[in-house]
Amino acid sequence: MKSSKQISLEKKILYRLEGNTKLAAEWIFKNKEIQHLQDYANVVSIKRLGYNDHGPVHMRKAASNAIKMFDLLHERGIKFNLENEGIGTVDDSKTAVLIASLFHDFGMTVSREQHEHLSVILSLPYIEKILKKLYKENIVKQMILRSMIVEGIFGHMASHKIHSLEAGLVLVGDGCDMEKGRARITSLLSSQPKVGDIHKYSASAINNVEIVAGKDKPIQINVEMTESVGFFQIEEVLFPKINFSPVKPYIELYAWVQGEEKQKYL
């Protein structure tokens, strides 16, 4: 059963979409198999492994972040790879970003290790169904978008080099979901300290992540935190993902503890 947070995020995402991208989102949000797969990703991630949210809410937040940044780039006249290379439209690029963002953590249903590879394997049947529905007899578009979606999923851990703005948005959109609510359930379930708890405690210090239009660059990411331990999330999680992304030249990044001066990273 969908949570109120998940439903709210779906409405927020659909509001920003049109064309094939909106059709893809509607199909995904109605698909019961995908819902069960995303729910199970959270069972494995939170209950079995003790990690934070990697389920339907996280995947939708990552998608919402990526789509918001996509629109900010498009509004500034930045061309995405498919359009710039003469092989696709803005809608094609947005469709690839959306699908990759919503599928990127399917591999958490199996294991944390190499889960980006596992996500590709588990996503392919659904990617092919969606693309056949959207592009029907256009085999060329189906093949191009399938590869671009796979690049976005494959590259979301910043462990493999990616080369398109589209895949770069998936990477940064994922990294921006680090507010305290993402670690809430894990914190409640955990009673004994263990290796990796710094991720949980630092995420709990992140009060708000805001994505807005930048002054000097198209995208500005603002991270407000309640305690300085939150800087661990910035410096060990978000910044490395931005630094690894082809979208980096278009991003301004600021972080600060409430009541203190902002720090500029980019």
**pLDDT for residue 47:** 86
Residues near 55 by Cβ (< 8 Å), separated by ≥ 6? Answer: 38, 39, 41, 42, 45, 46, 105
Quick one: average pLDDT of 183-188? Answer: 45
Residue 171 is part of which domain span? 4-264
CA count, 13 A, side-chain hemisphere, 165: 23
Give Dmax (Cα) for the chain: 57
**pLDDT for residue 53:** 79
- Each residue's pLDDT tens digit, 16-36: 999 999 999 999 999 999 999
Average pLDDT, the chain: 91
In which band, very low, low, confident or very high, does the pLDDT at 185 lie, cut at 50, 70 and 90? very low
**pLDDT for residue 192:** 52
Whether the Cβ atoms of residue 258 and residue 226 lie closer than 8 Å to each other: yes
Tokens 């591999």 sit at which residue? 107
pTM score above 0.95 = no
* DSSP H helices in the chain: 4-15, 19-30, 32-42, 56-75, 81-84, 90-103, 115-135, 139-154, 165-175, 184-189, 197-204, 231-233, 239-244
Residue 83 has pLDDT above 80, yes or no: yes
Residue 194 has pLDDT above 70, yes or no: no
Rounded Cα gap, residues 100 and 188, in angstroms: 30
**pLDDT for residue 181:** 52
263-264 and 206-213: which strand pairing? unpaired
Percent of the chain scored above 90 by pLDDT? 82
Residue 3 has pLDDT above 50, yes or no: yes
Residue 160 has pLDDT above 50, yes or no: yes
- Each residue's pLDDT tens digit, 89-110: 999 999 999 999 999 999 999 9
Report the alpha-carbon angle 92-139-104, nearest 5. 50
Quick one: average pLDDT of 63-79? Answer: 98
**pLDDT for residue 1:** 81
Residue type, 152: G
**pLDDT for residue 6:** 96
Quick one: average pLDDT of 203-221? Answer: 94
Quick one: average pLDDT of 60-88? Answer: 98
Rounded Cα gap, residues 17 and 156, in angstroms: 22
What is the token pair recorded at 219? Answer: 């995208």
Which is more confidently placed, 76 or 205? 76
Instruction: Give how many domains the chain has, as a whole number.
Output: 1
